[in-house]
Amino acid sequence: MITQIDPQKKLFRYMPLERFEEILKTGRIAAVNPFCWPDEFELRWLKMLETEEGIGKLKETVAGLLAHDEDVDRVNRKVIGLCKAIYSYRYVICFSDEEDSEVMWHGRESDVMIATDIMRLTRVSDSNESSVFSVIRQVQYDHEETFGFEKFLEKLYLDRDAVVIHDPDEFLSHKQKKYAYEHEYRLILDPVQYRDEKLVYLDIPEIQDFITGVMVHPNASDDHTERVKQLCKEYHLCFKGKSQVYKFHL
């Protein structure tokens, strides 16, 4: 595991009840391939490689890196293939450092919030032999639409016959400014097995250690709240009750 973040840093994940139940019953948490993310701006720079404009800009960059007698088109194809291979093999689990946040709860009345921290997340990642690489990145909200295609081109270089992309996981760590309220952290994985799947799963050796607290939506129904409370009791988790963010204190 690679991270320079404070191991005591608290993290929170908001999820539907059925996903929470899945974690408890299977002892696993799902990581999603970035190509399956619903945000159309995520990896938009990579989709540029499928357009004439993107391929043209890439050719210009590659031509500047090559000796005159080398085949620009061949290297161009190699760059595109490398990019697709790298990001087809990456899987991500997203967290927030916002505890009991109104904007994170918004529109999710059946949701559950679980709490953990960097140290526990690292422990889970390191205990899974299926992951050959993992890193935790804090997301940067520093662009209007997408992490620019030009930024990608700046990170390309050639090492003899090999095409290299410097720090490719940086491209999974930038989002639009309008999402800054998420305060997101991402665990990025490159698993040995199950590549080319939409999801991979990390085993959680000790659920009671990994999940340090559980809370339900401020507008959760009594039945929903009671269901989560009973699950926490069954799995020996700390149930913190219903969020109070919509309560007014006079």
DSSP state letters, 182-250: G-EEEEEEEESSSTT-SEEEEE-S-HHHH--EEEE-TT--HHHHHHHHHHHHHTT--EEEE--TT----
pLDDT of residue 237 exceeding 80, the answer is yes
pLDDT of residue 112 exceeding 90, the answer is yes
Q: Mean pLDDT, to the nearest integer, of 120-144?
A: 83
Percentage of the residues of the chain whose pLDDT score is greater than 70 = 89
Q: Hunting for tokens 């006079």 — which residue is that?
A: 250
From the list 93, 97, 92, 94, the residue with the least C-alpha distance to 8 is: 97
pLDDT of residue 131 exceeding 70, the answer is no
Buried/exposed code over 209-238 (b: 16+ C-beta within 10 A; e: otherwise): ebbbbbbbbeebeeebbebbbebbeeeebe
Check residue 152 and give its pLDDT: 79
Q: Which two tokens stand for residue 95?
A: 């967290």
Q: How confident is the model at residue 144 (pLDDT cuts 50, 70, 90)?
A: low
- Poorest-confidence range of 53-57, 120-124, 239-243? 53-57
Check residue 250 and give its pLDDT: 44
Q: How confident is the model at residue 208 (pLDDT cuts 50, 70, 90)?
A: very high
Check residue 62 and give its pLDDT: 81
Strand partners, 12: 96, 115
- Report which of residues 68 and 11 the model is more confident about: 11
Check residue 110 and give its pLDDT: 73
- Poorest-confidence range of 22-31, 101-110, 178-187, 231-240? 101-110
Percentage of the residues of the chain whose pLDDT score is greater than 90 = 40
Check residue 65 and give its pLDDT: 75
Check residue 87 and give its pLDDT: 83
pLDDT of residue 246 exceeding 80, the answer is no
CA–CA distance, 64 with 87 (Å, rounded to integer): 25
Let me know: does 214 contact 240? Beta carbons within 8 Å: yes
Q: Mean pLDDT, to the nearest integer, of 190-210?
A: 83
Q: Which two tokens stand for residue 106?
A: 């918004």
CA–CA distance, 81 with 75 (Å, rounded to integer): 10
Check residue 132 and give its pLDDT: 65
Check residue 58 and give its pLDDT: 84
pLDDT of residue 72 exceeding 60, the answer is yes
Tell me the pTM: 0.86
pLDDT of residue 185 exceeding 60, the answer is yes
